[in-house]
Amino acid sequence: MLNKYARAFFTRVLTPFATFLIRRGVSPDTVTLLGTAGVVAGALVFYPMGEFFWGTVVITLFVFSDLVDGNMARQLGRSSRWGAFLDSTLDRVADGAIFGGFALWYAGGGDDITLCAVSIFCLASGQVVSYTKARGESIGLPVAVNGLVERAERLVIALTLAGLAGLHKFGVPGIQYLLPIALWIVAVGSLITLIQRVVTVRRESAEAEEAAAEPGAVEPGAAEPDAAESPASEPHASESHASAPPESAVVEEKQKSREQGSEAAK
């Protein structure tokens, strides 16, 4: 849900910075890679030590690279499938590092196996939520649902409350409980979002199958013959068909040869 509103706002705010990087000759892919490296380092270095405030500060400095690289690509006119693939793939890496860092803390110094399991569930469910939409779209369905807790919500909830929980080390009492609250919210919200997307894909799939079963309906992708199966797609297909004699002519030629052979034998 936050993608609708927050992304547009931060895009406008970060546009001057994106322009500055372009003038310095920095590529969008470089920003993507450096941003992910910063997030992973902040999460896996600070969080396992219980340094949630400083870890969140470092992660926040780099997490906005997800908006900067896209802004740069649009300004340069270089939006491409490769850029989208790289960006999406590294987003999964960054998310895994953040919740993996929480899991490492609770498996070690945090000494809470339940919250360790919740952190792992947040990690896994976040990956699956993203996969359901990508997989649904890959089979031709729109997956027309945003869901309760998408990536933006997961990051805002987890990072904000983790950063505040880190103030406990600065003497703020009772605030350390905000991180467990954040993890439970993300876990439950991700589960609801996953169910929303699965139900949506099931409904859209059934609608597509019903539409394809109607008389005269053509299944998606079946309107045109597959290029790989079309004779015209074969190299020099037209020349080979033009030069090859019809089948009836071949039969007649063979029959004449047999007749000539029998006459010679006589």
Question: Using DSSP, how many helices (H) and how many strands (E) does the chain show?
Answer: 10, 0
Residue pair 122/154 in contact by the 8 Å Cβ criterion: yes
Residues marked as catalytic: 91
- SS3 call for 152: helix
What is the distance between the alpha carbons of residues 193 and 208, in angstroms, rounded to a whole number?
22
Query: Cβ contacts of residue 143 below 8 Å, gap of 6+?
Result: 132, 133, 136, 137, 197, 200, 201, 204
91: number of CA atoms within 13 Å, CB side? 22
What is the distance between the alpha carbons of residues 240 and 8, in angstroms, rounded to a whole number?
56
Q: What angle do CA 242, 243, 249 make, to 5 degrees?
A: 100
CA distances to 185, 253, 264 from 258, rounded to whole Å, are 87, 9, 10
